[in-house]
Amino acid sequence: MLAIEIQIRLKELQAERLLAASEGLAANALYMADLEDEIAELSDAYVGAAVTEIATLRAVLFGPQVG
């Protein structure tokens, strides 16, 4: 999955968290914990994907780096 796709999904989950809080679901600990876990996982995946995409682009532009 591309970094931009992960970022879009991450923003959707953050919006869901805000909506859940505004609708009174913040008291539902199981739901909120699951949502927070998914946000944390996607945040990590986003960073990994972004770093990989940057490294790949750098390799294409500048070739192998020595030393």
pLDDT of residue 67: 67
Count CB atoms within 10 A of the CB of residue 10: 17
Give SS3 for 31: helix
How does pLDDT run along the chain (67 residues), one tens digit per residue? 999 999 999 999 999 999 999 999 999 999 999 999 999 999 999 999 999 999 999 999 998 777 6
Q: Angle at which helices 29-62 and 3-22 pack, to 10 degrees?
A: 160
Identify whether the C-beta of residue 50 lies closer than 8 Å to the C-beta of residue 44.
Answer: no
DSSP codes of every residue in 24-59: TGGG-HHHHHHHHHHHHHHHHHHHHHHHHHHHHHHH
